[in-house]
């Protein structure tokens, strides 16, 4: 197990370097002047533009700029935006909010998605199974921004159960946005759990366990469910990256000052250091979560061993 973890960590370093280089190259290849509009309606003086380009090293070759960025990154310096604010300060404000939002979305996936999928898989073709299949199909068919506005208007404006916005990023304000962000994934998790559990319930080892006299709750809870959760856990692990990077719409609906809006503004303004800093942290979180998911396989299925 230890050698496997070390090998995966070394792979993560290579992936992180490759990802940051691709994003770095893409951002600085975008057309346009990053200093356009910095001086109001009039164009900035050439002396100012030249001084700023020299300050941020924009006249250096791309590979030189990248190595300088990596050197600063290894020292904990994410750079500085063109507005004079350090990237670290902006990340410290935005990332905790998005991480909380993603954590709530994942919690809804696990609790509601897996719970509904298990009950649906046990009672195939029953009333509850049909309700789950129909409701998840509806959720999958509706765009996320429609779900967001409908829930915001219904539960926030009309019923007053949840706050309409989440400007301060507290846990209570993020419950409804977390449900909206995880709604599509919740539907997929429910269907995936239902299908996997229903398939495993027809397996030979389940019939053998029942023939030996094991109770139905033990057969399902101890044996069948653990095997059925392996594809579900894989999906959730991959979905973490999608939720972290795809929260732009949800954050916009609920006025959340998180990573989504920060990244969108950074791309629009060609704030290369900020974009690469955000992507670097998101990729790092995604890689660590997937390493945790791989280690969790051995817990769910004792036959899996990492030698």
At 78-89, the pLDDT tens digits run 888 777 788 888
Mean pLDDT along residues 178-193 = 93
Measured over the CA atoms of residue 164, residue 167, residue 172 and residue 177, the dihedral's sign is positive
What is the token pair recorded at 137?
Answer: 């199909």
Q: What pLDDT, in 10s, does the model give residues 148-157?
A: 999 999 999 9
What is the token pair recorded at 243?
Answer: 């939720």
Given a cut of 90, whether residue 240 has pLDDT beyond it is no
What is the token pair recorded at 31?
Answer: 């057309």
Band of pLDDT at residue 237, cut at 50, 70 and 90: confident
Q: What pLDDT, in 10s, does the model give residues 7-35?
A: 888 888 888 888 888 888 887 777 766 77
Residue 94 to residues 9, 78, 239, 241, 281, Cα–Cα distance (Å): 26, 15, 20, 16, 12
Q: In the prediction, which pLDDT does 106 show?
A: 93
Q: In the prediction, which pLDDT does 193 show?
A: 94
Averaging pLDDT over each range in 37-46, 53-62, 114-123, 277-286, which range is the top one? 114-123
- Tell me the CATH number of domain 88-300, given options 1.10.3720.10, 3.40.50.12780, 1.10.10.10, 3.30.70.270: 1.10.3720.10
Phi, psi (deg, nearest 5) at residue 80 = -135, 140
Mean pLDDT along residues 132-158 = 92
Domain boundaries, the chain: 88-300
Given a cut of 80, whether residue 285 has pLDDT beyond it is yes
Q: In the prediction, which pLDDT does 191 show?
A: 94
Averaging pLDDT over each range in 61-75, 109-123, 198-212, 237-251, which range is the top one? 109-123
Averaging pLDDT over each range in 24-33, 111-120, 290-299, which range is the top one? 111-120
């Amino acid at each position: 197990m230890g050698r496997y973890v070390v090998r995966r960590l070394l792979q993560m370093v290579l992936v992180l370097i490759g990802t940051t280089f691709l994003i770095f190259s893409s951002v600085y290849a975008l057309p346009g002047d990053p200093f356009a509009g910095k001086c109001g309606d009039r164009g900035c003086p050439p002396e100012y533009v030249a001084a700023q380009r020299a300050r941020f090293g924009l006249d250096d070759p791309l590979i030189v700029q990248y190595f300088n960025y990596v050197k600063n990154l290894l020292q904990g310096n994410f750079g500085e935006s063109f507005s004079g604010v350090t990237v670290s300060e902006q990340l410290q404000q935005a990332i905790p909010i998005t991480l909380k939002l993603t954590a709530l979305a994942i919690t809804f996936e696990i609790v509601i998605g897996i719970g509904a999928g298990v009950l649906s898989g046990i009672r195939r073709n029953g009333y509850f199974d049909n309700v789950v299949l129909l409701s998840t199909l509806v959720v999958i068919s509706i765009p996320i921004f429609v779900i967001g506005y409908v829930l915001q208007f219904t539960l926030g404006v009309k019923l007053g159960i949840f706050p309409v916005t989440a400007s301060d990023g507290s846990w209570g304000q993020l419950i409804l946005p977390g449900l909206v962000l995880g709604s599509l994934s919740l539907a997929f998790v429910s269907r995936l759990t239902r299908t996997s559990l229903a398939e495993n319930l027809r397996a030979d080892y389940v019939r053998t366990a029942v023939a030996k006299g094991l109770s139905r709750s033990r057969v399902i809870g101890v044996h069948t469910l653990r095997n059925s959760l392996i594809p579900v856990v894989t999906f959730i692990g991959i979905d973490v990256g999608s939720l972290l990077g795809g929260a732009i719409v949800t954050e916009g609906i609920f006025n959340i000052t998180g990573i989504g809006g920060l990244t969108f503004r950074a791309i629009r303004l060609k704030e290369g250091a900020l974009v690469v800093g955000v992507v670097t942290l998101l990729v790092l979180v995604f890689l660590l979560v997937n390493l945790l998911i791989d280690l969790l396989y051995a817990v769910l299925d004792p036959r899996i061993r990492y030698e």
